[in-house]
């Protein structure tokens, strides 16, 4: 069997762990209080205001049940509001509040810095190549995930 330390699964998990750790550290240093999924939800909601929870989950590739809890916490922070849809009373329509938009704008530069720091060990060319390979592999594996990405086609072309 191949060495644990050479397994794609192990290395992906390590990079995810590093990513989450750097994200938390940078957010904390900036005096902000958003988790990665909370940021993703705010960003997607800003671009697609008025979608329901299930649609938002698809836009950022999260399980609907998981996203329900995330939305709970964002609502508690006053960053978004839930309204019952007028056309489908099962659905909850989500909208950012001005506070939510402000929190998102504050977070954007911090999140950009996180992306650079987590790949600090790679040259620029290597980062580009890693990004290309991850994008290709993630696209190919989308259906194998429990929560496939369901984004507008225009936003996820086949190659980066």
Partner DNA sequence: CCTAATTGACAAGTATACTTATCATAAGTA
Partner DNA sequence: TACTTATGATAAGTATACTTGTCAATTAGG
- Is residue 30 within 8 A of residue 69, CB to CB? The reply is no
Q: What is the C-alpha to C-alpha distance for residues 100 and 94, in angstroms, rounded to an integer?
A: 12
- Is residue 131 within 8 A of residue 122, CB to CB? The reply is no
Choosing from 86, 87, 89, 121, the residue that interacts with its own copies (CB under 8 A) is 121
Binding partner of residue 150 among its own copies, DNA, none, CB under 5 to 8 Å per kind? none
* SS3 label, residue 94: strand
| Residue 124 Cβ vs DNA, minimum distance, rounded to whole Å | 27
Segment holding 92, helix H or strand E = strand 92-96
- Is residue 83 within 8 A of residue 96, CB to CB? The reply is no
**30 touches its own copies (CB under 8 A):** no
Count the residues of the shown chain that bind DNA, applying the rule CB under 7 A. 32
The neighbour count for residue 24, using CB atoms within 10 Å, is 14
Binding partner of residue 102 among DNA, its own copies, none, CB under 5 to 8 Å per kind? none
Sign of CA dihedral 22, 25, 30, 33: positive
**83 touches DNA (CB under 7 A):** no
**73 touches DNA (CB under 7 A):** yes
Count Cβ atoms within 10 A of the Cβ of residue 8 and give its class: 0-12 exposed, 13-18 middle, 19 or more buried: exposed
Site string for its own copies, 76-115 (x = CB under 8 A): --------------------------------xx-xx-xx
Q: Which is nearer to DNA, 64 or 156 (CB)?
A: 64
Positions that interact with DNA (CB under 7 A): 13, 17, 20-21, 35-38, 52-55, 62-66, 68-71, 73, 82, 87-92, 145-147
What is the contact surface with its own copies in residues (CB under 8 A)? 1-19, 21-23, 25, 36, 40, 43-44, 60-61, 108-109, 111-112, 114-115, 117-122, 126-127, 129-131, 133-142, 144-147, 149, 151, 155-156, 160
């Amino acid at each position: 069997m191949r060495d644990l330390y050479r397994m794609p699964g192990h290395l992906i998990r390590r990079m995810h762990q590093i990513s989450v750790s750097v994200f938390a550290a940078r957010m904390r240093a900036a005096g902000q209080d958003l988790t990665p999924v909370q940021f993703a939800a705010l960003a997607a909601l800003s671009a697609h205001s008025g979608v329901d929870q299930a649609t938002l989950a698809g836009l950022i590739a999260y399980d609907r049940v998981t996203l329900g809890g995330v939305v709970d916490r964002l609502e508690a922070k006053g960053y978004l509001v839930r309204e019952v849809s007028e056309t489908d009373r099962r659905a909850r329509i989500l909208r950012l509040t001005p506070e939510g938009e402000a929190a998102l704008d504050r977070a954007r530069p911090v999140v950009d810095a996180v992306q650079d720091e987590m790949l600090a060990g790679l040259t620029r060319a290597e980062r580009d190549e890693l990004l290309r390979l991850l994008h290709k592999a993630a696209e190919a594996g989308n259906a194998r995930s429990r929560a496939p990405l369901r984004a507008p086609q225009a936003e996820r072309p086949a190659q980066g």
